[in-house]
Amino acid sequence: MEFETKTIHSGFAKEDKFGATIIPIYENAAYSYQTAEELQEVFEGKKFGYVYSRISNPTVTEFELRMNAIEEGIGAIATSSGMAAIATTVLTLTQYEDEIISSDCLFAGTYLFFKDVMNKYGVKVHYVNINEVDEWKKLINNKTRLIFFESISNPKLEVPNLKLISMVAKEYNIPVVVDNTVSTPYLWRAKNFGADIIIHSATKYISGNGSAVGGILIDTGIYDWKRSSVNQIKEMSQKVGRLAFIITARSKVYQNIGFAPSPFNAFLHILGLETLSLRMEKHCYNALQLAEYLQNHKKIINVNYPGLKENKFYDIGKKQFNNKFSGLLTFFLESKEKCFKFINNLKLAKNLANIGDTRTLVIHPDSTIYINCTKEEKNLAGVNENMVRVSVGIENVNDIIDDFNQSLQKI
């Protein structure tokens, strides 16, 4: 099946006994069995069955199966948030005194997770310019457990050259973890470029309506876990083969910490996913139109959108993302006051901390998402007080442009 078809027809909802076309919301905590013997077999793993919704749930499984089909993976785990998907992955791959090589431009939540949680438990993170492979190659040692970056970094909008990165990672047998939230699987099949684990915040484009927080991680099946330097995974691979990472992540981290999503949220992610391809076309189209418009607007100092031909990442983005560049852009005004005035005078666009909604969203990252970061940390993330971030929605683009224009007139 092709992408659009998979978003609708993969999974197992078609087996519903009443013929329901969308999987029902299995809003239950536990699952009963006729006999004690049967439940024992399920616990022993001899028989497939649901036990308790912190471990797995049929509605959640449906979301996992569809995302797994789309990313052409060997297994997926849906989580209560994008951050929980990142945490599950990182906690499965690392322990005390291990090291991570990470892009230096990260989503603020990921950066704070590394800083406030992983560092506290003795895991060291090296922040690097991820496209400078010769530089970070020197940092690799026998404690390096993963390489982490975002497909289009939020909000700096840098694009990593994944083929180049994964070539080096493979040479040193280190798994590559890609946060594919901003490009989505519609723009980017990161597996084809060498990603070993793909993460999404399902809160964003996958759900698409700003309706439900959630996340997912997918093992693409490229990495040979028998050769893993993580003992728990290596041991697991002797029992379960290729599924070693997914089963270790689920049984040793996810279910023990309690990262499971609610079945209702998983249902909303499935609904959103069915229209992902249509929405992404429009997000990308609108974002390019708006970026071109703003670029020529005299009140705007600079526009950052990888889809603009003069952007530093245009060529690599074009190749990796099939000539589409997603719906995020940033622009710069003369001052913080002007940014605030611009935001306050908007009529259509919403001022809030999210991306990937059908609605156009704006935010002043410096005074909000990055408020607890130092100047240096903001610099690395590409944030300063003159910047506005826009998540371009799927309204008629003329209405978005009109709204931005009337507000720019007032500053």
Ligand X SMILES: *Cc1c(COP(=O)(O)O)cnc(C)c1O
> For binding to ligand X (CB under 6 A), which residues are involved?
81-83, 107, 109-110, 150, 154, 179, 181-182, 201, 203-204, 213, 215, 355
Smallest gap from Cβ 239 to ligand X, in A, equals 31
Q: Give the closest residue to 280 by CA, choosing from 221, 322, 333, 343.
A: 322
Smallest gap from Cβ 296 to ligand X, in A, equals 28
Smallest gap from Cβ 354 to ligand X, in A, equals 8
* Of residues 83 and 308, the one with the C-beta less far from ligand X: 83
* Of residues 86 and 247, the one with the C-beta less far from ligand X: 86
Smallest gap from Cβ 204 to ligand X, in A, equals 6
3-state secondary structure of 165: helix
Q: Is 287:326 a contact under the CB 8 Å cutoff?
A: yes
* Of residues 110 and 407, the one with the C-beta less far from ligand X: 110
* Of residues 203 and 407, the one with the C-beta less far from ligand X: 203
Half-sphere exposure of 278 (CA within 13 A, CB side): 12
Q: Is 47:35 a contact under the CB 8 Å cutoff?
A: no
Smallest gap from Cβ 153 to ligand X, in A, equals 7
* Of residues 225 and 313, the one with the C-beta less far from ligand X: 313
Smallest gap from Cβ 71 to ligand X, in A, equals 16
* Of residues 179 and 366, the one with the C-beta less far from ligand X: 179
* Of residues 232 and 365, the one with the C-beta less far from ligand X: 365
DSSP 76-142: EEEESSHHHHHHHHHHHH--TT-EEEEESS--HHHHHHIIIIITTTT-EEEEE-TT-HHHHHTT--T
- DSSP class of 30: B
Using only C-alpha atoms, the chain has a radius of gyration, in whole angstroms, of: 22
Please give the residue whose beta carbon sits closest to ligand X in the complex. 82
* Of residues 13 and 329, the one with the C-beta less far from ligand X: 329
Smallest gap from Cβ 82 to ligand X, in A, equals 2
| Amino acid making up residue 339 | C
- List strand residue ranges (DSSP E) for 238-334, in order: 302-304, 328-332
Smallest gap from Cβ 179 to ligand X, in A, equals 5
Q: Give the closest residue to 283 by CA, choosing from 209, 348, 198, 342.
A: 209
Q: Give the closest residue to 342 by CA, choosing from 410, 276, 286, 290.
A: 410
Smallest gap from Cβ 282 to ligand X, in A, equals 19
Smallest gap from Cβ 113 to ligand X, in A, equals 9
In which region does residue 259 sit, left (phi positive, over 0), alpha (psi from -120 to 50) or beta (all else)?
alpha
Phi and psi at 350, nearest 5°, equal: -95, 145
Q: Is 355:245 a contact under the CB 8 Å cutoff?
A: no
* Of residues 149 and 331, the one with the C-beta less far from ligand X: 149
Name the helix (H) or strand (E) containing 362: strand 361-363
* Burial bucket for residue 317 (CB in 10 Å: 0-12, 13-18, 19+): buried
* Of residues 114 and 225, the one with the C-beta less far from ligand X: 114
